[in-house]
Amino acid sequence: MNLFAPLPPDTRRLLDDIHALIDTTFPLPGRFRASLPSDVAELSRLLTSGRGERGLSYMGRPQFLSAYLRFFLPWNLYRLCRLLPGLDINLAAQDRITDLGCGPLTLAAALWISRPELRLLPLEFQCIDRSGPALDAGKKFFSALAGENCPWKIHTIKGELGAITLKPAALVCAVNVFNEMHGDISRWNTGSLKHNATKAAAVLTGHTVRAGQASILLVEPGFPRCGEFISLLRTGLLERGHEPLAPCPHDKRCPFPGGKSTGGKNRWCHFSWETGDAPSALHRLSRAAGIPKERAVLSFLYTRERTEHTVLPPGLRVISDAFPLPGNRFGRYCCSDKGLVLLAGEKNSIVHSVCGSLIQADYRFDGTDPKSNALLALKT
């Protein structure tokens, strides 16, 4: 299945209305409205380069909670709404979903917006976060979004991930969680990262039902360190009986482990696309804050407990932008069960094989690319 398809009209309409919904649900005092762009910029700094100054209670500060709700929440919703429709998420009535590090119920809201077929199902959500203000804001926001007659039961739980006993779930999710937990580990300390990935795999699988159809969804920023962590976590989940359904088109060794050089370059599994269909109000705030976002980037992994009937679709998963090659050709890097692949062909054909596509036909292998050491696949 191809990933990151353009937003359908209903999803885009709901996302376009998010800013008005947030303004109505969380009225912004005048003193905060004027400073909103600078508050967004400062919170962005605290979440990245200044994370050591942030502290655990940053979401309890009104200006930062407001900045998060108006900037980071809508951008996270947009990214998830481009991702979730392309995943084979099978949920039935009375299924339970656990969202670890849920923030203001971002995942639940994204599922409601982007998967309309789930809106009539009675589902139960266990939403865990260490920030009480984020959970309170999330309950208020989701109630305004879904309305009084929503059949979903949302349970919010304040606490740390390793200190909570939860009911087993059909789907366990962690969105932008492990970057928060392990972002301070040195880029050279792969041993600690691998240790934490092994522990995370045990925690995630420990929260799933044992019915052969339990799924796990991980989404992280598209940074090299996040790609490396997800690759390590993928190995840990495979060892615990969970096989990747997306983006990987195979369950063999990851060709993009991160932290290692391939052909002289550090490559990691991540996906990006242009954000022209994101809400215009969100783009205006981004520019005002000095954080324009012409492209969205993420790394992710979606797995399911292995069964005898699971068959992964063979093919090449496109994971890069198109770039020129000698001989008036263009190329994109791909993931496959044979390892790293360079898909090459005429410009028009390669440009239309967008990032996230699963190429299952119309190509043939033809040796190795001497520059990247990748297998060369020629688009026919």
Mean pLDDT of 178-195: 70
Q: 267 falls in which pLDDT band (50, 70, 90)?
A: confident
Phi/psi for 221 (5° steps) reads -55, 155
Asked if residue 47 lies in contact with residue 75, where contact means CB atoms within 8 angstroms, the answer is no
* pLDDT tens for each residue of 73-98: 999 999 999 999 999 999 999 999 99
Residue 114 has pLDDT above 70, yes or no: yes
Could you give the CA distance from residue 77 to residue 296 in angstroms, rounded to a whole number? 12
Residue 155 has pLDDT above 90, yes or no: yes
Residue of 219 and 163 predicted with greater confidence: 219
Asked if residue 378 lies in contact with residue 363, where contact means CB atoms within 8 angstroms, the answer is yes
Question: Scanning the structure block, which residue is given the tokens 């028009």?
Answer: 348
List the structure tokens of 353: 């094989």
Cis before residue 62, ω within 30 degrees of 0? no
Q: 235 falls in which pLDDT band (50, 70, 90)?
A: very high
Mean pLDDT of the chain: 90
What contacts 113, CB < 8 A, 6 or more positions away?
Answer: 11, 14, 15, 77, 81, 145
User: Does 3.40.50.150 match the CATH number of domain 15-305?
Assistant: yes
Of 70-84, 114-128, 135-149, 212-226, the range with the lowest mean pLDDT is 212-226
The rounded percent of the chain whose pLDDT value lies above 70 is 90
Residue 261's pLDDT is 45
Query: What count of other Cβ atoms lies within 10 Å of the Cβ of residue 253?
Result: 12
The domain ranges of the chain are: 15-305, 316-379
Mean pLDDT of 262-268: 63
Residue of 98 and 257 predicted with greater confidence: 98
Of 19-33, 63-77, 139-153, 170-184, the range with the lowest mean pLDDT is 170-184
- pTM for the full predicted model: 0.93
Phi/psi for 173 (5° steps) reads -125, 150
* Residue 146 region by backbone torsions, left for phi larger than 0, else alpha for psi between -120 and 50, else beta: alpha
Asked if residue 377 lies in contact with residue 363, where contact means CB atoms within 8 angstroms, the answer is yes
Asked if residue 56 lies in contact with residue 1, where contact means CB atoms within 8 angstroms, the answer is no
